[in-house]
């Protein structure tokens, strides 16, 4: 099967979104829980793959990988592979192994990301690098990454190997680009979208596309579900970047203001910078560029962003991507899975955690 080339959404900023989210979203209901109703057996199989395939004769490997994996996380990426396969009516079980591959790649990037960010918290507990050291976190990330490719080889599809090796390369590129945007107040919206499209949306897209590939669907359908994944990933990441400032720390399950502490240039900050007074510019230079921060600064940063409506405007952009994602689904089977995928992209924006 010939699969589609990656569509480039960067040039299509959704200023005037042609499609709007139809159903009102109740932020208290996570559509993933709905999907778990009919994907429960699949997800149990994915979890069994994850637990089985992270084993090694070297005890530190399952110990460290287990630390992160046991902490939970949303499992949204493997769920996308399962949901995509279900959307297309696939009745086999290849999606379970491949969803585990997707989660392994995600886990490997989290391990390396925490080393890069020098994070000490992940998923509401101490990060793996903080507990086991940076060295072990780097190497166990490498192991999980390799293990993911071993699992894909067991599955035997060169299309899947292509999709996920491409995604891995793009993720690494996005992470490197993010290094150069950190602490850089000249970071543009384009830079930001390049980063989040690469480091987040690409794996969402690949996870979706793999479901269509195992179901043997046409290149047009593969492209449509892939584009949905891109738009979902972008919407999800914008929301994440807003929540890092605006969420309640208890609900979020991770410490608030991490991006601020690291001087990351996320969309709400970029919007606030676009509207900054001379005095505010000096504030952002001191806190994000020079990383000279006092205890009061995070609170003050949030105040400035609220004054400029940076959260609302960021979420409006995310809503535009959500609308595009829902439009991507229009040509695909109009079943209950599609309804849940529509709800999921709306939830990705409106969620409180």
Contact (Cβ atoms closer than 8 angstroms) between residue 85 and residue 95:
yes
DSSP-derived pairing of the beta strands 125-126 and 121-122: antiparallel
Contact (Cβ atoms closer than 8 angstroms) between residue 226 and residue 203:
no
Question: What is the per-residue DSSP string for 203-218?
Answer: HHHHHHHHHHHHTT--
The three-state secondary structure class of 276 is coil
Query: Which one, 20 or 55, has the nearer CB to a copy of itself?
Result: 55
Contact (Cβ atoms closer than 8 angstroms) between residue 289 and residue 319:
no
Query: Which one, 9 or 239, has the nearer CB to a copy of itself?
Result: 9
| Binding region for a copy of itself (CB under 8 A) | 56-58, 60-61, 108-109, 112, 115-116, 133-136, 138-140, 142-143, 145-147, 149-150, 152-153, 156, 158, 161-162, 165-166, 168-169, 171-173, 175-177, 179-180
The three-state secondary structure class of 335 is coil
Q: Least distance from C-beta 149 to a copy of itself, angstroms?
A: 4
Of the CA atoms within 13 Å of residue 336, those in its CB half-sphere come to: 8
Query: Which one, 162 or 275, has the nearer CB to a copy of itself?
Result: 162
Q: Least distance from C-beta 43 to a copy of itself, angstroms?
A: 25
The three-state secondary structure class of 122 is strand
Query: Which one, 94 or 147, has the nearer CB to a copy of itself?
Result: 147
* Tokens found for residue 84: 């995509």
Question: What is the per-residue DSSP string for 52-114?
Answer: HHT--SSTHHHHHHHHHHHT----HHHHHHHHHHHHTT--SSHHHHHHHHHHHHHHHHHHHHH
Q: Least distance from C-beta 197 to a copy of itself, angstroms?
A: 12
Q: Least distance from C-beta 109 to a copy of itself, angstroms?
A: 8
The three-state secondary structure class of 121 is strand
Q: Least distance from C-beta 191 to a copy of itself, angstroms?
A: 11
Q: Least distance from C-beta 248 to a copy of itself, angstroms?
A: 30
Query: Which one, 142 or 274, has the nearer CB to a copy of itself?
Result: 142
Query: Which one, 37 or 156, has the nearer CB to a copy of itself?
Result: 156
Q: Least distance from C-beta 142 to a copy of itself, angstroms?
A: 4
Q: What is the DSSP letter of 294?
A: -
Query: Which one, 126 or 177, has the nearer CB to a copy of itself?
Result: 177
From the list 331, 338, 94, 102, the residue with the least C-alpha distance to 215 is: 94
């Amino acid at each position: 099967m010939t699969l589609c080339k990656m569509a480039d959404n960067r040039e299509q900023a959704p200023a005037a979104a042609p499609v709007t989210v139809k159903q009102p979203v109740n932020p208290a209901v996570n559509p993933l829980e709905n999907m778990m109703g009919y994907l429960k057996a699949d997800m149990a199989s994915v979890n069994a793959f994850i637990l089985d395939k992270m084993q090694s004769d070297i005890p530190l490997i399952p110990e460290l990988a287990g630390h992160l994996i046991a902490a939970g996380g949303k499992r949204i990426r493997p769920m996308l592979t399962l949901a995509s396969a279900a959307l297309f009516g696939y009745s086999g079980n290849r999606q379970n192994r491949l969803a585990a591959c997707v989660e392994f790649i995600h886990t490997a990037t989290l391990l390396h990301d925490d080393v890069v960010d020098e994070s000490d918290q992940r998923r509401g507990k101490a990060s793996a690098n903080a507990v086991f050291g940076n060295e072990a976190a780097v190497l166990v990330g490498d192991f999980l990454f390799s293990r993911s490719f071993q699992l894909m080889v067991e599955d035997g599809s060169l299309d899947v190997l292509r999709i996920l090796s491409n995604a891995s390369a793009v993720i690494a590129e996005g992470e490197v680009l993010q290094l150069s945007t950190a602490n850089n107040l000249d970071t543009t919206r384009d830079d930001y979208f390049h980063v989040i499209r690469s480091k987040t949306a690409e794996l969402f897209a690949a996870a979706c596309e793999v479901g269509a590939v195992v179901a043997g669907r046409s290149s047009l359908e593969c492209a449509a579900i892939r584009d949905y994944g891109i738009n979902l990933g972008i919407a999800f990441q914008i929301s994440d970047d807003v929540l890092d400032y605006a969420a309640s720390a208890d609900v979020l399950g991770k410490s608030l203001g991490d991006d601020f502490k690291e001087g990351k240039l996320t969309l709400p900050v970029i919007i606030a910078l676009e509207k900054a007074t001379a005095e505010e510019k000096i504030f952002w230079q001191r806190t994000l560029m020079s990383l000279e921060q006092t205890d009061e600064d995070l609170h003050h940063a949030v105040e400035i962003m609220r004054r400029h409506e940076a959260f609302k405007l960021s979420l409006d952009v995310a809503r535009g991507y959500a609308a595009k994602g829902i439009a991507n689904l229009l040509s695909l089977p109009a079943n209950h899975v599609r309804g849940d995928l529509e709800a999921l992209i709306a939830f990705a924006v409106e969620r409180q955690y």
